[in-house]
Amino acid sequence: MDRLVSVAAPGNAGWVGMNKRFRRGLVVGKFCPLHLGHELLIARAQLQCDELILISYTKPGFAGYSSECREHWLKARCPVTGIYVIDDERLALLCRVHGVAARPVPFDTEPDDVHRHFVAWLLGDVLGKKVDAVFTSEDYGDGFAAVLAARFGSVVEHVCVDKARRTVPISGTRIRSSAQAHRGYLSAEVFASFIPRTCLLGGESTGKSTLAEALASALQTAWAPEYGRELWESRQGKLALEDMVHIGRTQVAREHALAQDANEVLICDTTPLTTAFYSHELFGTVADELRGLADRTYQITFLCAPDFDFVQDGTRQNNAFRLRQHEWYLKQLSAMGIAYVQLEGSQQKRLAFAASHICRELGASTRSPTARR
């Protein structure tokens, strides 16, 4: 299924378009993960509503399916302005903004009626919005619509979409058991989040870029080249402080785009952690956003040792700088509590060891979305 078709709302919020049945509709779900069945439901709702509200919450939730991850999927796949992915912390902030006393998000195991009244409170008291339709693929939709109608004092219709799951025969439970086995029910954008990332760190002239490309070739998968080096070379070594955040953002965006074409694993030549090092070295400071990007975690982290001759290619510093950079990585990884594997010896030895380690560690693993985006 391609990206959902956007349905623009009319300029006059009080007018229901000629082909639209409803002024404002609602879809609520966990979206763990967002699959093509959800996208069908949302697309059908968009076609019938001037405005659509998407609400997602789950408590305690599922490991790896963070609010940030689900929000990213919804915003990437669903051109809807009213997207609210909430948890207790996000809800408390939303309540402060709207001057409303906060309440906790209900647990998944609480009765349906608790969830219905919670959503009614969220819509009416916090967001100040009422709906005239709720879209689901479940039997509970009629009772949900009745609670919303009582809360708003107006008719709320339940529209059931593909209840029998004939169009998209899948559920979130099945996908969580094995995203790889059910890849056909996920958009490429969403499935990319389930591809494990392996990153290579290392000082200048430690062979990490050569190794990254060789690893990708050996494993028949994609790799994400180092954007910072590309920008450095294109600017002839002239970078500004604001370029550092741009480099970090672009490296992450590159990872996500390339993960859509990866086979089982994505090889990443460096991470925003490297950009943070150069920001500190070149400008004596690291922007808060870049620090956040540098905190990203990877399923496997390799650190290339500076144990062969330094090669000057015209863009590098010197061996003393390389050694200082290596020591910095050692301290940072330790401080962050990140386990890493140090690669030593010839490129052939590093390639053989790294490829074997990746296959051993990830070959039998169950996929879960990458924790940090």
pLDDT tens figures, 300-354: 999 999 988 767 665 667 778 889 999 999 999 999 999 999 999 999 999 999 9
Q: Is-same-fold flag (22-189; 195-362)? A: yes
Indicate the CATH number of 195-362 among 3.40.630.30, 3.40.50.300, 1.25.10.10, 3.40.50.720. Answer: 3.40.50.300
pLDDT tens figures, 245-275: 999 999 999 999 999 889 889 999 999 999 9
CATH 3.40.50.620 fits 22-189, yes or no: yes
Query: Which pLDDT value is given to residue 10?
Result: 31
Provide the β-strand partners of residue 342: 303
| Separation between Cα atoms, residue 191 and residue 162, nearest integer Å | 23
| Half-sphere exposure for 44 (CA within 13 Å, toward CB) | 19
Domain positions in the chain are 22-189, 195-362
Of all helices (H) and strands (E), which one includes residue 342?
Answer: strand 341-343
pLDDT tens figures, 94-123: 999 999 999 999 999 999 999 999 999 999
| Environment class of 251 (CB within 10 Å of its CB; exposed 0-12, middle 13-18, buried 19+) | buried
Query: Which pLDDT value is given to residue 313?
Result: 61
Global pTM reads 0.76
Residue 239: is its pLDDT beyond 60? Answer: yes
Residue 14: is its pLDDT beyond 50? Answer: no
Query: Which pLDDT value is given to residue 2?
Result: 36
| Separation between Cα atoms, residue 66 and residue 186, nearest integer Å | 17
119 Cβ neighbours under 8 A, 6+ residues apart: 26, 28, 55, 144, 148
Q: Are 121 and 90 in contact (CB under 8 A)?
A: no
